């Protein structure tokens, strides 16, 4: 199920009969530590605390969390397990608000719960594995579709971590970068991605492990990098794409899109269909997660003790008008808008 290769050797999530094995991303790159989640509550805590993070990976973890819930609840009460599992589903749904893949995966699992009338664990596990495998297949396909746009891109800038750590495997934006690098050498630049430093701690680690050379930059160096002419594309993932193409992604994405447009650098969003929220017409309706301000201060360790408040929104919304292409496994939308999105996806 979780086939790896030398260009894609990392896995964030692995299922075993003993539970869901999660690579603890809070400890990377200093330590490689796995945590075994044995209950849905463990999985919800793991998502909330960002041991696993990245929109598709959150959805996959939640799907396995439902398997764990069913296993526990069915053993406790084989005649009336559904209401207890629904309680666990709701707990999983509260773990993080912005990545729509979480709610999408829980809905898929709910559909299985509705139709089973015997032992639920086997069919739920089959569905969770399908969600996991489909994500890897989608990423590989998006990798090829996205790389088709990059024939003349000597330099690419990416933001946050969108690789195997953030997905079932291979990655979204980082998947396109993997595929492009297989076609020929590129200069890959990764932002640090403050305050949680997904770029510095995860992306650079992951690329290094897979022997893809990359250069780390401070977030504040991005506009200067574009001005220098060393990148032709910015490629990012997404946590939720509204029906008109507005895209919520890691804080700082919007600033990169504004700078890219100013410098004539093209801007690509790569995300599976599970990231598109057709019920949300436009980006301003997307809930933006605000995390504990201590996370911001603790990560930076620079603010004086006298700082009494800090604002820590962890996503922002890039308007569709600043996006050149959205790559999905079902095809590519150029100049996204309600009309172009509808035309491709119907």
Question: Could you tell me which of 199, 209, 205 has the C-alpha nearest to residue 234?
Answer: 199
On whether the CB atoms of residues 260 and 322 are closer than 8 A, the answer is yes
**Extended beta strands in 180-279, E state:** 187-191, 214-217, 233-236, 240-242, 247-250, 266-270, 276-277
- C-beta of 97 vs 123, nearer to ligand MRU: 97
Catalytic residue among 8, 239, 316, 324: 239
Of positions 61, 70, 89, 162, contacts ligand MRU by CB under 6 A: 162
Of positions 20, 23, 55, 317, contacts ligand MRU by CB under 6 A: 55
- C-beta of 46 vs 198, nearer to ligand MRU: 198
> C-beta of 120: minimal distance to ligand MRU in Å?
29
> Considering only 109-117, 184-192, 231-239, 258-266, which stretch makes contact with ligand MRU by CB under 6 A?
231-239
Answer yes or no whether residue 166 interacts with ligand MRU by CB under 6 A: yes
d(CA 142, CA 155): 19
On whether the CB atoms of residues 295 and 195 are closer than 8 A, the answer is yes
> C-beta of 140: minimal distance to ligand MRU in Å?
14
On whether the CB atoms of residues 109 and 65 are closer than 8 A, the answer is no
Answer yes or no whether residue 328 interacts with ligand MRU by CB under 6 A: no
**Extended beta strands in 63-169, E state:** 155-158
Site residues (CB under 6 A) for ligand MRU, limited to 241-270: 249-250
Of positions 46, 95, 164, 172, contacts ligand MRU by CB under 6 A: 172
On whether the CB atoms of residues 145 and 151 are closer than 8 A, the answer is no
> C-beta of 239: minimal distance to ligand MRU in Å?
5
Answer yes or no whether residue 23 interacts with ligand MRU by CB under 6 A: no
What DSSP element (H or E) covers 98? none
d(CA 246, CA 8): 29
Q: Is 219 a catalytic residue?
A: no
Of positions 28, 42, 51, 53, contacts ligand MRU by CB under 6 A: 53
> C-beta of 154: minimal distance to ligand MRU in Å?
23
Number of residues that bind ligand MRU (CB under 6 A): 17
d(CA 190, CA 201): 11
On whether the CB atoms of residues 120 and 109 are closer than 8 A, the answer is no
Three-class SS state of 13: strand
- C-beta of 28 vs 160, nearer to ligand MRU: 160
Positions touching ligand MRU (CB under 6 A) are: 53-56, 99, 160, 162, 166-167, 172, 198, 237-239, 249-250, 314
Hey, which residues are catalytic here?
239
């Amino acid at each position: 199920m979780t086939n790896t290769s030398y260009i894609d050797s990392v896995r964030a999530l692995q299922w075993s009969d003993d539970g869901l094995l999660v690579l603890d991303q809070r400890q990377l790159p200093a330590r490689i530590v796995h945590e075994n989640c044995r209950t849905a509550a463990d999985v919800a805590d793991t998502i909330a605390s960002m041991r696993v993070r990245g929109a598709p990976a959150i959805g996959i973890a939640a799907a396995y969390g439902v398997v764990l819930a069913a296993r526990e609840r069915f053993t406790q009460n084989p005649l009336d397990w559904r209401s207890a599992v629904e309680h666990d589903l709701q707990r999983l749904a509260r773990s993080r608000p912005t990545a729509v893949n979480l709610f999408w995966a829980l809905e898929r699992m709910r559909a299985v719960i509705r139709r089973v009338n015997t032992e639920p664990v086997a069919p739920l596990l089959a569905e969770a594995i399908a969600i996991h495998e489909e994500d890897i297949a989608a990423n590989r396909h998006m990798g090829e579709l996205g790389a088709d746009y990059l024939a003349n891109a000597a330099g690419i800038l990416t933001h946050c971590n969108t690789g195997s750590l953030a997905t079932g495997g291979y990655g979204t934006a980082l998947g396109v970068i993997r595929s492009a690098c297989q076609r020929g050498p590129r200069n890959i630049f990764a932002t640090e991605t403050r305050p949680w430093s997904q770029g510095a701690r995860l992306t650079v680690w992951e690329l290094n492990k897979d022997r893809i050379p990359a250069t780390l930059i401070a977030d504040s160096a991005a506009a200067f990098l574009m001005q220098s002419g060393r990148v032709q594309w910015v490629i990012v993932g997404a946590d939720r794409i509204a029906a008109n193409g507005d895209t919520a992604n890691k804080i700082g994405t919007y600033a990169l899109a504004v700078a890219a447009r100013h410098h004539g650098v093209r801007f690509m969003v790569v995300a599976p269909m599970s990231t598109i929220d057709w019920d949300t017409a436009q980006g301003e309706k997307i809930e933006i997660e605000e995390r504990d301000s201590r996370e911001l201060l603790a990560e930076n360790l620079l603010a004086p003790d006298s700082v009494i408040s800090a604002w820590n929104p962890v996503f922002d919304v890039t308007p569709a008008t600043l996006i050149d292409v959205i790559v999905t496994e079902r095809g590519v939308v150029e100049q996204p808008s309600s009309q172009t999105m509808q035309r491709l996806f119907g």
